[in-house]
Amino acid sequence: MLRSRIAGTGRGTPDKVLTNDDLAKTVATSDEWIRERTGIRERRILEEGRTTSDLASLAGKRACEKAEIDPSEVDCIIVATISPDMPMPAVAVTVQQKIGAGTCAAFDISAACAGFIYGLSIADSFIKTGMFKRVLVIGVEILSRVVDWTDRNTCVLFGDGAGAALLVPYEAKDADDRGIVSTHLYADGAGVPFLNIPGGGSAEPTTLKTVEAKRHLVKMQGKPVFAHAVKNISAAAMTALESNGKTPADIDWVVAHQANLRILENVAQRCGLPMDKFYLNIHKYGNTSSASIPIALDEAMREGKVKQGDLVLMAALGAGLSWGSALVRL
Ligand code: ACO
Protein backbone atom coordinates (compact mmCIF):
# COMPACT_ATOMS: atom_id res chain seq x y z
CA MET A 1 0.00 0.00 0.00
CA LEU A 2 1.42 3.38 -1.04
CA ARG A 3 1.86 5.81 1.82
CA SER A 4 3.87 8.94 2.42
CA ARG A 5 6.43 9.03 5.22
CA ILE A 6 8.42 11.77 6.90
CA ALA A 7 11.98 11.47 5.56
CA GLY A 8 13.42 14.44 7.48
CA THR A 9 12.49 17.31 9.78
CA GLY A 10 14.07 20.67 10.55
CA ARG A 11 13.40 23.81 12.53
CA GLY A 12 14.40 27.45 12.63
CA THR A 13 13.96 29.37 15.86
CA PRO A 14 15.19 32.92 16.51
CA ASP A 15 18.04 33.46 18.99
CA LYS A 16 16.39 36.34 20.87
CA VAL A 17 14.61 35.17 24.03
CA LEU A 18 11.80 37.20 25.64
CA THR A 19 11.10 35.98 29.18
CA ASN A 20 7.95 36.43 31.25
CA ASP A 21 9.88 38.83 33.48
CA ASP A 22 10.83 40.89 30.41
CA LEU A 23 7.12 41.13 29.50
CA ALA A 24 6.15 42.10 33.06
CA LYS A 25 8.20 45.29 32.53
CA THR A 26 5.89 46.43 29.70
CA VAL A 27 2.39 45.02 30.51
CA ALA A 28 0.52 44.32 33.77
CA THR A 29 1.43 40.66 34.10
CA SER A 30 3.80 38.42 36.04
CA ASP A 31 5.95 35.35 35.50
CA GLU A 32 3.78 33.50 38.03
CA TRP A 33 0.48 34.32 36.22
CA ILE A 34 1.80 33.32 32.80
CA ARG A 35 3.42 30.10 34.05
CA GLU A 36 0.37 28.99 36.04
CA ARG A 37 -2.21 29.80 33.33
CA THR A 38 -0.23 28.65 30.29
CA GLY A 39 3.01 26.82 31.17
CA ILE A 40 5.02 29.39 29.16
CA ARG A 41 8.30 30.71 30.61
CA GLU A 42 9.80 32.38 27.56
CA ARG A 43 9.33 32.76 23.82
CA ARG A 44 11.59 33.56 20.84
CA ILE A 45 11.31 36.81 18.88
CA LEU A 46 12.69 37.28 15.36
CA GLU A 47 15.11 40.18 15.01
CA GLU A 48 14.13 43.19 12.92
CA GLY A 49 15.01 42.89 9.23
CA ARG A 50 14.46 39.11 9.08
CA THR A 51 11.23 37.65 7.70
CA THR A 52 8.85 34.70 7.77
CA SER A 53 10.47 33.27 4.62
CA ASP A 54 13.96 33.50 6.20
CA LEU A 55 12.95 31.29 9.11
CA ALA A 56 10.83 29.00 6.90
CA SER A 57 13.78 28.51 4.52
CA LEU A 58 16.09 27.62 7.39
CA ALA A 59 13.66 24.96 8.65
CA GLY A 60 13.03 23.69 5.11
CA LYS A 61 16.74 23.39 4.29
CA ARG A 62 17.38 21.50 7.51
CA ALA A 63 14.54 19.06 6.74
CA CYS A 64 16.06 18.43 3.28
CA GLU A 65 19.52 17.92 4.80
CA LYS A 66 18.15 15.44 7.33
CA ALA A 67 16.33 13.56 4.55
CA GLU A 68 19.51 13.68 2.40
CA ILE A 69 17.49 15.17 -0.46
CA ASP A 70 18.77 18.21 -2.33
CA PRO A 71 16.24 21.11 -2.35
CA SER A 72 16.41 21.05 -6.17
CA GLU A 73 14.68 17.64 -6.01
CA VAL A 74 11.64 18.96 -4.08
CA ASP A 75 8.43 18.79 -6.18
CA CYS A 76 6.15 20.92 -4.04
CA ILE A 77 6.44 23.37 -1.13
CA ILE A 78 3.46 23.96 1.15
CA VAL A 79 3.80 26.74 3.73
CA ALA A 80 1.21 26.98 6.50
CA THR A 81 1.17 30.48 7.99
CA ILE A 82 -1.06 33.36 9.03
CA SER A 83 1.91 35.76 9.30
CA PRO A 84 3.43 35.86 5.79
CA ASP A 85 6.20 38.16 4.51
CA MET A 86 3.45 40.11 2.66
CA PRO A 87 -0.24 39.52 1.73
CA MET A 88 0.76 38.56 -1.83
CA PRO A 89 2.46 36.44 -3.14
CA ALA A 90 2.74 33.26 -1.08
CA VAL A 91 5.67 32.78 1.32
CA ALA A 92 6.25 29.39 -0.35
CA VAL A 93 7.49 30.98 -3.59
CA THR A 94 10.08 33.07 -1.69
CA VAL A 95 11.13 29.93 0.19
CA GLN A 96 11.48 28.15 -3.17
CA GLN A 97 13.96 30.84 -4.30
CA LYS A 98 15.86 30.92 -1.01
CA ILE A 99 16.42 27.16 -0.77
CA GLY A 100 17.05 26.65 -4.51
CA ALA A 101 14.07 24.41 -5.24
CA GLY A 102 13.81 25.07 -8.98
CA THR A 103 10.36 25.87 -10.38
CA CYS A 104 8.41 23.35 -8.32
CA ALA A 105 4.82 23.95 -7.16
CA ALA A 106 4.69 26.28 -4.15
CA PHE A 107 1.73 27.71 -2.25
CA ASP A 108 0.55 28.80 1.19
CA ILE A 109 -2.35 27.52 3.26
CA SER A 110 -4.20 29.37 6.02
CA ALA A 111 -5.44 27.13 8.82
CA ALA A 112 -3.80 28.98 11.74
CA CYS A 113 -2.57 26.66 14.51
CA ALA A 114 -3.93 23.63 12.63
CA GLY A 115 -1.92 24.62 9.53
CA PHE A 116 0.78 21.96 9.83
CA ILE A 117 -1.79 19.13 10.16
CA TYR A 118 -3.65 20.52 7.12
CA GLY A 119 -0.36 20.77 5.20
CA LEU A 120 0.64 17.23 6.14
CA SER A 121 -2.73 15.94 4.95
CA ILE A 122 -2.46 17.75 1.58
CA ALA A 123 1.12 16.53 1.08
CA ASP A 124 0.08 12.97 1.96
CA SER A 125 -2.76 13.13 -0.61
CA PHE A 126 -0.44 14.50 -3.32
CA ILE A 127 2.01 11.64 -2.73
CA LYS A 128 -0.68 8.93 -2.57
CA THR A 129 -2.21 10.08 -5.87
CA GLY A 130 1.23 10.17 -7.52
CA MET A 131 0.97 13.92 -8.20
CA PHE A 132 4.25 14.69 -6.40
CA LYS A 133 7.08 12.62 -4.89
CA ARG A 134 8.92 14.98 -2.56
CA VAL A 135 6.74 17.47 -0.69
CA LEU A 136 8.14 19.96 1.80
CA VAL A 137 5.62 21.05 4.45
CA ILE A 138 6.58 24.07 6.53
CA GLY A 139 4.72 25.62 9.47
CA VAL A 140 6.02 29.12 10.21
CA GLU A 141 4.83 32.13 12.18
CA ILE A 142 6.31 35.50 13.06
CA LEU A 143 3.47 36.31 15.44
CA SER A 144 5.51 39.03 17.17
CA ARG A 145 4.69 41.22 14.13
CA VAL A 146 0.88 40.76 14.42
CA VAL A 147 0.47 40.78 18.20
CA ASP A 148 -0.68 43.83 20.17
CA TRP A 149 2.19 44.28 22.64
CA THR A 150 -0.06 46.37 24.91
CA ASP A 151 -2.72 43.61 25.24
CA ARG A 152 -1.76 41.29 28.09
CA ASN A 153 -4.54 38.85 27.11
CA THR A 154 -2.69 37.90 23.94
CA CYS A 155 0.91 39.17 23.88
CA VAL A 156 2.09 36.79 26.61
CA LEU A 157 0.98 33.72 24.65
CA PHE A 158 2.73 33.83 21.30
CA GLY A 159 6.23 33.37 19.86
CA ASP A 160 8.08 33.12 16.53
CA GLY A 161 9.44 29.99 14.86
CA ALA A 162 9.41 27.57 11.93
CA GLY A 163 9.35 23.81 11.57
CA ALA A 164 9.38 21.59 8.49
CA ALA A 165 8.92 18.00 7.35
CA LEU A 166 9.89 16.49 3.99
CA LEU A 167 7.49 13.78 2.85
CA VAL A 168 8.37 11.04 0.34
CA PRO A 169 6.51 7.97 -1.02
CA TYR A 170 6.79 4.73 0.93
CA GLU A 171 5.50 1.25 0.04
CA ALA A 172 4.09 0.02 3.37
CA LYS A 173 3.96 -3.74 3.95
CA ASP A 174 1.00 -3.58 6.36
CA ALA A 175 -1.16 -1.14 8.36
CA ASP A 176 1.45 -1.00 11.15
CA ASP A 177 4.32 -0.12 8.83
CA ARG A 178 5.88 3.35 8.60
CA GLY A 179 4.15 6.39 7.13
CA ILE A 180 1.24 8.78 7.57
CA VAL A 181 -1.42 6.35 8.82
CA SER A 182 -4.33 8.82 8.69
CA THR A 183 -5.27 12.49 8.90
CA HIS A 184 -8.60 14.02 9.98
CA LEU A 185 -9.43 17.67 9.27
CA TYR A 186 -12.28 19.83 10.59
CA ALA A 187 -13.42 23.45 10.70
CA ASP A 188 -16.28 25.47 12.18
CA GLY A 189 -16.68 29.02 10.89
CA ALA A 190 -18.95 29.85 13.84
CA GLY A 191 -15.62 30.38 15.66
CA VAL A 192 -14.48 33.35 13.54
CA PRO A 193 -15.30 35.91 16.29
CA PHE A 194 -13.19 34.05 18.89
CA LEU A 195 -9.81 34.59 17.24
CA ASN A 196 -9.01 36.80 14.26
CA ILE A 197 -7.07 39.66 12.72
CA PRO A 198 -10.03 41.80 11.59
CA GLY A 199 -8.22 44.46 9.53
CA GLY A 200 -6.17 44.39 6.34
CA GLY A 201 -8.49 42.26 4.20
CA SER A 202 -11.58 42.98 2.07
CA ALA A 203 -13.78 43.29 5.17
CA GLU A 204 -11.71 46.16 6.56
CA PRO A 205 -9.12 47.36 4.04
CA THR A 206 -6.12 49.02 5.66
CA THR A 207 -6.60 52.72 6.32
CA LEU A 208 -5.04 55.10 8.80
CA LYS A 209 -8.14 54.58 10.94
CA THR A 210 -7.92 50.75 10.98
CA VAL A 211 -4.25 50.94 11.91
CA GLU A 212 -4.88 53.49 14.67
CA ALA A 213 -7.61 51.18 16.01
CA LYS A 214 -5.10 48.27 15.87
CA ARG A 215 -7.42 46.25 13.62
CA HIS A 216 -4.33 44.71 11.96
CA LEU A 217 -3.40 42.90 15.18
CA VAL A 218 -4.61 39.64 16.79
CA LYS A 219 -7.92 39.77 18.72
CA MET A 220 -8.88 36.83 20.91
CA GLN A 221 -11.53 35.67 23.36
CA GLY A 222 -9.42 33.24 25.39
CA LYS A 223 -12.14 31.32 27.21
CA PRO A 224 -14.16 29.98 24.23
CA VAL A 225 -10.93 29.15 22.38
CA PHE A 226 -9.73 27.20 25.42
CA ALA A 227 -13.01 25.26 25.73
CA HIS A 228 -13.20 24.42 22.00
CA ALA A 229 -9.53 23.44 21.97
CA VAL A 230 -10.00 20.91 24.76
CA LYS A 231 -13.20 19.45 23.25
CA ASN A 232 -12.15 19.33 19.59
CA ILE A 233 -8.49 18.32 20.01
CA SER A 234 -9.66 15.44 22.23
CA ALA A 235 -12.33 14.38 19.73
CA ALA A 236 -9.92 14.52 16.77
CA ALA A 237 -7.28 12.58 18.73
CA MET A 238 -9.80 9.87 19.63
CA THR A 239 -10.98 9.66 16.01
CA ALA A 240 -7.35 9.14 14.92
CA LEU A 241 -7.06 6.23 17.36
CA GLU A 242 -10.48 4.63 16.84
CA SER A 243 -10.44 4.81 13.04
CA ASN A 244 -7.19 2.83 13.07
CA GLY A 245 -8.19 0.32 15.77
CA LYS A 246 -5.68 1.82 18.22
CA THR A 247 -5.92 2.61 21.93
CA PRO A 248 -3.97 5.18 23.99
CA ALA A 249 -1.63 2.34 25.04
CA ASP A 250 -0.49 1.94 21.40
CA ILE A 251 0.72 5.54 21.19
CA ASP A 252 4.42 6.17 21.85
CA TRP A 253 4.30 9.98 21.72
CA VAL A 254 1.76 12.78 21.46
CA VAL A 255 3.21 15.76 19.60
CA ALA A 256 0.31 18.18 19.90
CA HIS A 257 -0.04 21.90 19.28
CA GLN A 258 1.70 23.75 22.11
CA ALA A 259 -0.88 26.46 22.93
CA ASN A 260 -1.38 26.08 26.64
CA LEU A 261 -0.16 23.36 29.04
CA ARG A 262 -3.60 23.30 30.69
CA ILE A 263 -5.29 22.57 27.33
CA LEU A 264 -2.98 19.57 26.88
CA GLU A 265 -3.55 18.37 30.46
CA ASN A 266 -7.31 18.44 29.85
CA VAL A 267 -6.89 16.61 26.51
CA ALA A 268 -4.71 13.98 28.22
CA GLN A 269 -7.37 13.38 30.86
CA ARG A 270 -10.25 13.17 28.35
CA CYS A 271 -8.41 10.76 26.07
CA GLY A 272 -6.83 8.62 28.78
CA LEU A 273 -3.35 9.51 27.50
CA PRO A 274 -0.69 9.88 30.23
CA MET A 275 1.06 13.28 30.29
CA ASP A 276 4.48 11.60 30.08
CA LYS A 277 3.62 10.61 26.49
CA PHE A 278 3.24 14.30 25.54
CA TYR A 279 6.37 15.96 24.19
CA LEU A 280 6.33 19.45 25.69
CA ASN A 281 8.34 22.55 24.77
CA ILE A 282 5.75 25.29 25.30
CA HIS A 283 7.83 26.62 28.23
CA LYS A 284 10.60 27.59 25.75
CA TYR A 285 8.71 28.83 22.70
CA GLY A 286 5.15 29.81 23.73
CA ASN A 287 2.47 29.30 21.10
CA THR A 288 4.09 29.37 17.64
CA SER A 289 0.80 28.41 15.92
CA SER A 290 1.38 26.39 12.72
CA ALA A 291 5.09 25.99 13.61
CA SER A 292 4.54 24.40 17.00
CA ILE A 293 4.05 20.75 15.96
CA PRO A 294 6.95 20.57 13.45
CA ILE A 295 9.28 22.41 15.87
CA ALA A 296 8.34 19.96 18.65
CA LEU A 297 8.67 16.95 16.32
CA ASP A 298 12.11 18.03 15.10
CA GLU A 299 13.34 18.81 18.60
CA ALA A 300 12.00 15.51 19.99
CA MET A 301 13.62 13.51 17.16
CA ARG A 302 17.00 15.26 17.35
CA GLU A 303 17.00 14.79 21.16
CA GLY A 304 16.52 11.06 20.47
CA LYS A 305 13.24 10.94 22.40
CA VAL A 306 10.96 10.28 19.43
CA LYS A 307 12.52 7.55 17.28
CA GLN A 308 12.00 5.83 13.96
CA GLY A 309 9.22 3.26 14.34
CA ASP A 310 7.37 5.23 17.06
CA LEU A 311 3.62 5.75 16.65
CA VAL A 312 3.05 9.50 17.02
CA LEU A 313 -0.30 11.21 17.50
CA MET A 314 -0.50 14.85 16.38
CA ALA A 315 -3.46 17.16 17.01
CA ALA A 316 -4.12 20.90 16.91
CA LEU A 317 -6.82 23.57 16.97
CA GLY A 318 -6.60 27.20 15.99
CA ALA A 319 -8.40 30.19 14.51
CA GLY A 320 -11.28 29.37 12.21
CA LEU A 321 -11.92 27.40 14.22
CA SER A 322 -9.82 24.85 12.32
CA TRP A 323 -8.59 21.62 13.83
CA GLY A 324 -7.40 18.13 13.05
CA SER A 325 -5.28 15.13 13.92
CA ALA A 326 -2.69 12.91 12.29
CA LEU A 327 -1.45 9.45 13.20
CA VAL A 328 2.09 8.86 11.97
CA ARG A 329 4.42 5.85 12.22
CA LEU A 330 7.86 7.44 11.94
N1 ACO B 1 -1.37 38.64 33.17
C2 ACO B 1 -2.14 38.85 34.26
N3 ACO B 1 -3.47 38.82 34.23
C4 ACO B 1 -4.05 38.52 33.07
C5 ACO B 1 -3.33 38.29 31.90
C6 ACO B 1 -1.93 38.35 31.98
N7 ACO B 1 -1.14 38.14 30.93
N8 ACO B 1 -4.18 38.02 30.90
C9 ACO B 1 -5.41 38.07 31.42
N10 ACO B 1 -5.34 38.40 32.71
C11 ACO B 1 -6.42 38.58 33.67
C12 ACO B 1 -7.73 38.87 32.98
O13 ACO B 1 -7.83 40.24 32.66
C14 ACO B 1 -8.71 38.45 34.06
O15 ACO B 1 -8.81 39.50 34.99
P16 ACO B 1 -10.26 39.92 35.58
O17 ACO B 1 -10.76 38.67 36.25
O18 ACO B 1 -9.91 41.03 36.49
O19 ACO B 1 -11.05 40.30 34.37
C20 ACO B 1 -8.00 37.29 34.75
O21 ACO B 1 -6.61 37.40 34.39
C22 ACO B 1 -8.50 35.93 34.31
O23 ACO B 1 -8.60 35.95 32.93
P24 ACO B 1 -9.20 34.74 32.18
O25 ACO B 1 -9.37 35.11 30.73
O26 ACO B 1 -10.35 34.19 32.94
O27 ACO B 1 -8.00 33.69 32.31
P28 ACO B 1 -7.98 32.22 31.79
O29 ACO B 1 -7.78 31.30 32.93
O30 ACO B 1 -9.08 31.92 30.84
O31 ACO B 1 -6.62 32.22 30.96
C32 ACO B 1 -5.85 32.32 28.72
C33 ACO B 1 -6.50 33.07 29.86
C34 ACO B 1 -4.47 31.88 29.17
C35 ACO B 1 -5.74 33.24 27.51
C36 ACO B 1 -6.70 31.08 28.37
O37 ACO B 1 -8.04 31.45 28.22
C38 ACO B 1 -6.22 30.40 27.13
O39 ACO B 1 -5.13 29.90 27.06
N40 ACO B 1 -7.07 30.31 26.10
C41 ACO B 1 -6.70 29.68 24.87
C42 ACO B 1 -6.11 30.71 24.01
C43 ACO B 1 -5.12 30.19 23.02
O44 ACO B 1 -4.42 29.24 23.24
N45 ACO B 1 -5.09 30.89 21.91
C46 ACO B 1 -4.11 30.62 20.94
C47 ACO B 1 -4.63 30.38 19.60
S48 ACO B 1 -5.68 29.05 19.52
C49 ACO B 1 -4.78 27.82 20.00
O50 ACO B 1 -3.61 27.83 19.76
C51 ACO B 1 -5.46 26.72 20.70
pLDDT tens per residue, range 227-246: 999 999 999 999 999 999 99
Other C-beta atoms lying within 10 Å of the C-beta of residue 263: 25
Could you tell me if 114 and 183 lie in one domain? no
Please say if 287 is a catalytic residue. yes
Could you tell me if 237 and 322 lie in one domain? yes
Could you tell me if 296 and 261 lie in one domain? yes
Q: If you compute the radius of gyration of the chain from its CA atoms, what whole number of angstroms results? A: 19
Q: How sure is the predictor about 161, in pLDDT bands with cuts at 50, 70 and 90?
A: very high
The whole-number pLDDT of residue 86 equals 97
Could you tell me if 155 and 206 lie in one domain? no
The whole-number pLDDT of residue 265 equals 98
Question: What 8-state DSSP symbol labels residue 46?
Answer: P
Cβ(241)–Cβ(180) below 8 Å: no
The whole-number pLDDT of residue 184 equals 98
Residue range(s) defining the domain that contains residue 154? 2-171
User: pLDDT tens digits, residue range 76-123?
Assistant: 999 999 999 999 999 999 999 999 999 999 999 999 999 999 999 999
Q: What's the CA gap between 111 and 46, in Å, rounded? A: 22
Pairing of strands 135-142, 76-80: parallel
- Ligand 1, from 113, 218, 260: best to mutate by most atoms within 8 Å of Cβ? 260
Could you tell me if 134 and 186 lie in one domain? no
Count of structural domains within the chain: 2
Q: How sure is the predictor about 13, in pLDDT bands with cuts at 50, 70 and 90?
A: very high
Q: Angle CA(80)–CA(266)–CA(188) in degrees, nearest 5?
A: 45
Coil, helix or strand at residue 216 = coil
Q: What's the whole-model pTM score?
A: 0.96
Could you tell me if 115 and 190 lie in one domain? no
**Mean pLDDT for the chain overall:** 98
Please say if 228 is a catalytic residue. no
Please tell me the distance between residue 183's alpha carbon and the centre of ligand 1 in angstroms: 30
Cβ(200)–Cβ(210) below 8 Å: yes
At residue 235, what are phi and psi to the nearest 5 degrees?
A: -65, -45
Q: How sure is the predictor about 224, in pLDDT bands with cuts at 50, 70 and 90?
A: very high
Could you tell me if 92 and 159 lie in one domain? yes
User: pLDDT tens digits, residue range 179-188?
Assistant: 999 999 999 9
The whole-number pLDDT of residue 182 equals 98
Q: What is the CATH number of the domain that holds 123?
A: 3.40.47.10
Could you tell me if 46 and 99 lie in one domain? yes
